[in-house]
Structures are given as C-alpha cells and as structure tokens.
Amino acid sequence: MMQAILVRVGVDHSYGQWNAPVDPRTGAFEYVPIPEKSTTLFYENCAKPYSLIEPRLRTFAARNGLDLFQDLRCSAELLQQNMHLDPDFDHLTYGDDGDRRGSHIRQLQRDDMLVFYSGLRPIVPCEHRLIYAIIGLFRVAEVVDASKIPSDRWGENAHTRKIKRGLSDIVVRAQPRGSGLLQRCLKIGEMRDKAYRVTPSLLSAWGGLSVNDGYIQRSARPPRFLDAGKFANWFEAQAPEFTHGHLHG
C-alpha cells in the first residue's frame, strides 16, 4: 500500500527565530530553511549561506510594497548564517535521522510520498497569527544511507554537505515528475484547542492522520497519512504547480 508522511520544514520561532512570509490572498510564499549550527563544518564549496535566497526575499517584499526587515521582521543576523537546506528542491532530496525521527521515512518505497508543510507568517491581517500550509511534495524514487553516497554527490543534500553527520542519516531522492516546491502553498491548518491542527474538513478528505485531532504544531516523529491514496486524490484535485528550482529557478 502507498505510504505518505507529513513533514514540517522551514525556519520558525524555535529554529531561526522567524517565520517565512506568505500572502494568504494568493498563496504566494517563500521557502526559508532552518539555520545550520554555527559550529557546523562543510566539505569544500558545500556551505549554503542565506545570502543565496536573500534576493528572493527582497523581491517578495518589494513586490508587496514591504520592507524585508521592518515589515517582514527578518533578522539581519539570520541572513549571515548558513542554511540547513533540507529539503533541497533543486536536487530533489530530503535527509533525516533514519533510526529515530525518520524511522518511518527509511521504510518508504518508490511512489510513496513526503509532504512538506511550514508555519508561515501572513503579510496582511489574518484570522491566525500563522498559516500552516503544504509547500512541497516528493514522490519517492529511493531512500539511501547517507554513508553510502559517493563524494561526487555529497553536494546534493544538507546531511552529506557537512563533514560530521549522523551514523544513521538517510537521504530521500524524489522523482522529478510530480515532485518539487509548490508555486502556491495549500493552507491546511487552524488554531483549535490551543494548538495548530489540520482543519476537520481536510482530516476527513484525507482519511485522517496518525496524530490526535490533526495536531501539527510540533512533533517528535512526523505524522503519517492513514489513507495515502485518499490524500493523493485530494492533492491532485488542487491542481498543484511545481517548481524544481529554489536557489536557481
């Protein structure tokens, strides 16, 4: 049976002290990865500084008549750091710890799905402080042990770009067709019972999640879709449009 896992990604209050922007009127958003630790050492030419995406952020702000720092509250300090660029939508990879948090991800097979969502800050007044939304999706091609990836492919994922990695780290490679960063995010969450949760109507449309009442605010282990086929049908009905480029397109 097809499997699908919902994975939270992107900078937030806990990892980076910021939330990337979204226009709730159009679904336009920016994907901003979490920062790497300041002590992280990288292989040659493998570091990914935030300066690579700063132009995109400035363009997004300017397009909406806003200032990146004053209006969107982006931290200048954050932009001086390196990104933990994961998922990497240019190389269509995602890395995780295959023994703990990513133990279910390690078991994924070809055509299974990783569904990425983020907590985004709206640029106009909105019902909720944050908008929880799907920002991308991978249709799995293969899952490989990071330790077995040859050096000429280390630059393809955050978990292989750094010199010190986890012994159980894995890298998911996605199929180019039907995978990528969404051009417009899909809102899925609301504040309910003192936490952000998937809306009841979507929980019904998806066939449920393996967490209590659609809880998506934070989880030690990413929730699984109870009916991956039902979710896949819902997703396709949204007519999603992908872009494979993030840094370069």
Reading the chain (249 residues) residue by residue, the pLDDT tens digits are: 999 999 999 999 899 999 999 999 999 999 999 999 999 999 999 999 999 999 999 999 999 999 999 999 999 999 999 999 999 999 999 999 998 888 999 999 999 999 999 999 999 999 889 999 999 999 999 999 999 999 999 999 999 999 999 999 999 999 999 999 999 999 999 999 999 999 999 999 999 999 999 999 887 789 999 999 999 999 999 999 998 777 754
Dihedrals phi, psi of 147, to nearest 5 degrees? -65, -20
Residue 248 is predicted with a pLDDT of 52
Asked if residues 33 and 84 have their Cβ atoms less than 8 Å apart, the reply is yes
Question: Alpha helix (H) ranges present in 126-191?
Answer: 158-161
Does 57 reside within a domain?
yes
Does 249 reside within a domain?
no
Does 248 reside within a domain?
no
Query: Tokens 């003192």 correspond to what residue?
Result: 194
Question: Alpha helix (H) ranges present in the chain?
Answer: 54-63, 103-106, 158-161, 200-206, 228-237
Residue 249 is predicted with a pLDDT of 42
Does 168 reside within a domain?
yes
Does 85 reside within a domain?
yes
Residue 247 is predicted with a pLDDT of 72
Reduced to 3 states (helix: H, G, I; strand: E, B; else coil), residue 114 is strand
Residue 221 is predicted with a pLDDT of 86
41 is in which domain, residue-wise? Answer: 4-243
Asked if residues 50 and 81 have their Cβ atoms less than 8 Å apart, the reply is yes
Does 108 reside within a domain?
yes
Reduced to 3 states (helix: H, G, I; strand: E, B; else coil), residue 75 is coil
Does 227 reside within a domain?
yes
Residue 229 is predicted with a pLDDT of 98
Residue 100 is predicted with a pLDDT of 81
Residue 181, CB half-sphere, CA atoms under 13 Å: how many? 28
pLDDT tens for 147-167 read 999 999 999 999 999 999 999
Q: Provide the token pair at 76.
A: 């200048």
Reduced to 3 states (helix: H, G, I; strand: E, B; else coil), residue 191 is strand
Q: How many domains does the chain have?
A: 1
Does 115 reside within a domain?
yes
